[in-house]
């Protein structure tokens, strides 16, 4: 008999639901909350209210698209954290209520584990052990993944995430939120002529707040000399910032691969959509003899399919949560 899981993701500003059967994705529905663009970033209170509005229609759509009935569902997986607490509460409460109504077990999922396991949504799948660089608006980590549910963080950001570095730079440049995709597009028309310093962080940890400060001082100085500096050099500034963020990420991956001897390297999280990062990973992989894995965009950004895949492997271990479980902002 097959195992069918309903998965819920509501950790930030995307309300998502998916149906995963025996580890395969039958449906993957996301309602993105565009309203945050108006504020130049995610407003937690607004996000929680939007989740409350979206959650039922998104779940209904996931069930319908999968072509299953509610009675076919055997367990409910949900993101417990990390994330915005008000957003998480909506998803966790919904998952508990749905499971109670149908008398189903619930499975808690760590959002960051799920970003890694998004690689198992489709072929080609990485072989264990592999390194995974998870880069998104909220997270930047290098992990060694030894098995589906056995992973170890080798390094992570000590301040901002890589996506935040893109988004905060965009704000300084007067770009819309989220600025990552806009910087990516503009960078294609420019050259990395401005050199921003690479932070000197020991080991495999990352830091992006120093870069943010150096970009801020650089722009202040240039704009004082030429008020049109940003408009006249926008694509070169974007290319330069992207170039530095990408080199910080790739250099740490090289270090991690050197330390572990692992040659299977995967990218995860929304920033893995970045064309500069994708190209740099492909090039580095060719030079180093690595096998590189980058999932489809819908599995890079926040989604519930990755929650369902993780929940499926926990289901196989009968790793169920009790109904008094609560969300956690920090896992
Ligand atoms: O994984 P995700 O959808 O949500 C979080 O968990 O944060 O990642 C969103 C982040 C944002 O910071 C956004 O600017 C960034 O991913 N992003 C990009 C690109 N597409 C999305 N950053 C750089 N280049 C892109 N093409
Ligand atoms: Zn995420």
State pLDDT tens for residues 19-35: 999 999 999 999 988 88
**CA nearest ligand 1 atom 20, residue:** 181
Ligand 1 pocket member 205 (CB < 6 A): no
Distance in Å, CA 107 to ligand 2 centroid: 18
Residue 199: both structure tokens together: 């932070």
- Of the candidates 281, 279, 252, the one whose C-alpha atom is nearest the C-alpha of residue 266 is 281
Q: What is the pTM of this model?
A: 0.94
Question: Minimum mean pLDDT among 15-24, 40-49, 77-86: which range?
Answer: 40-49
Q: Which atom of ligand 1 is nearest to the CA of 275?
A: 26
pLDDT at 37: 85
Cα–Cα dist 18/98, whole Å:
14
Residue 72 has pLDDT above 90, yes or no: yes
Mean pLDDT of the region 36-41? 86
State pLDDT tens for residues 176-232: 999 999 999 999 999 999 999 999 999 999 999 999 999 999 999 999 999 999 999
Distance in Å, CA 255 to ligand 1 centroid: 24
Domains 4-117+300-316 and 126-295 in one fold: yes
Distance in Å, CA 115 to ligand 2 centroid: 7
- The CA-based angle 278-281-282, given to 5 degrees, is 85
Mean pLDDT of the region 92-116? 98
Ligand 1 pocket member 165 (CB < 6 A): no
Q: Say if residue 124 is preceded by a cis peptide, omega within 30 of 0.
A: yes
Ligand 1 pocket member 267 (CB < 6 A): no
Distance in Å, CA 101 to ligand 1 centroid: 36
Ligand 1 pocket member 9 (CB < 6 A): no
Q: Which CATH number fits domain 126-295: 3.30.365.10, 3.40.50.300, 3.40.50.150, 3.30.420.40?
A: 3.30.420.40
Look at phi and psi of residue 289 and say left if phi exceeds 0, alpha if psi is from -120 to 50, else beta: left
**Pairing status of strand 106-110 against strand 75-81:** parallel
Residue 58 has pLDDT above 90, yes or no: yes
Residue 236 has pLDDT above 90, yes or no: yes
Cα–Cα dist 54/85, whole Å:
17
Distance in Å, CA 301 to ligand 1 centroid: 7
Q: Which atom of ligand 1 is nearest to the CA of 138?
A: 7
Q: Are 105 and 320 in contact (CB under 8 A)?
A: yes
Average pLDDT score, the chain: 97
Mean pLDDT of the region 83-91? 97
Cα–Cα dist 65/68, whole Å:
8
Distance in Å, CA 220 to ligand 1 centroid: 26
Ligand 1 pocket member 163 (CB < 6 A): yes
**CA nearest ligand 1 atom 3, residue:** 301
Distance in Å, CA 178 to ligand 1 centroid: 7
pLDDT at 305: 98
Distance in Å, CA 142 to ligand 1 centroid: 17
SS3 assignment, position 142: strand
pLDDT at 40: 84
Per domain, the residue ranges of the chain are: 4-117+300-316, 126-295
Ligand 1 pocket member 301 (CB < 6 A): yes
Q: Which CATH superfamily is domain 4-117+300-316 in?
A: ATPase, nucleotide binding domain (3.30.420.40)
Ligand 1 pocket member 10 (CB < 6 A): no
State the SS3 of 266-288.
EEECHHHHCHHHHHHHHHHHHHH
By most ligand atoms within 8 Å of CB, the mutation choice from 270, 274, 279 for ligand 1 is 270
């Amino acid at each position: 008999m097959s195992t069918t899981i309903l998965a819920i993701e509501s950790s930030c500003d995307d309300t998502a639901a998916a149906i995963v059967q025996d580890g395969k994705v039958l449906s993957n529905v996301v309602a993105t909350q565009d309203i945050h663009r108006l504020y130049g970033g995610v407003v937690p209170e607004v996000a929680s209210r939007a989740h409350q509005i979206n959650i039922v229609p998104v779940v209904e759509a996931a069930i319908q698209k999968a072509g299953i009935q509610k009675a076919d569902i055997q367990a409910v997986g949900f993101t417990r954290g990390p994330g915005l607490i008000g957003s998480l509460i909506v998803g966790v409460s919904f998952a508990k209520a749905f499971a109670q109504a149908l008398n189903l077990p619930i499975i808690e999922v760590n959002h960051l584990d799920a970003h890694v396991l998004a690689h198992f949504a489709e072929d080609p799948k990485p072989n264990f052990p592999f390194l995974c660089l998870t880069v998104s608006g909220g997270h930047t980590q290098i992990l060694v993944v030894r098995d589906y549910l056995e992973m170890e963080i080798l390094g992570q950001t000590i301040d901002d995430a890589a996506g935040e570095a893109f988004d905060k730079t965009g704000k300084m440049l007067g770009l819309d939120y989220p600025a990552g995709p806009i910087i990516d597009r503009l960078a294609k028309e420019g050259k990395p002529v401005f050199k921003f310093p690479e932070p000197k962080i020991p080991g495999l940890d990352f830091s992006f707040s120093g870069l943010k400060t150096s970009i801020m001082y650089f722009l202040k100085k240039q704009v004082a000399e030429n008020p049109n500096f940003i408009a006249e050099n926008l694509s070169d500034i974007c290319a330069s910032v992207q170039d530095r963020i990408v080199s910080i990420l790739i250099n740490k991956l090289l270090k991690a691969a050197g330390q572990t001897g692992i040659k299977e390297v995967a990218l995860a999280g929304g920033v893995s959509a970045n064309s500069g990062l994708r190209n740099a990973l492909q090039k580095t992989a060719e030079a180093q003899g690595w096998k590189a894995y980058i999932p489809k965009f819908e599995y890079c950004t926040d989604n519930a399919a990755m929650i369902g895949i993780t929940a499926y492997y926990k289901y196989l271990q009968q790793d169920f949560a009790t109904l008094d479980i609560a969300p956690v902002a920090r896992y």
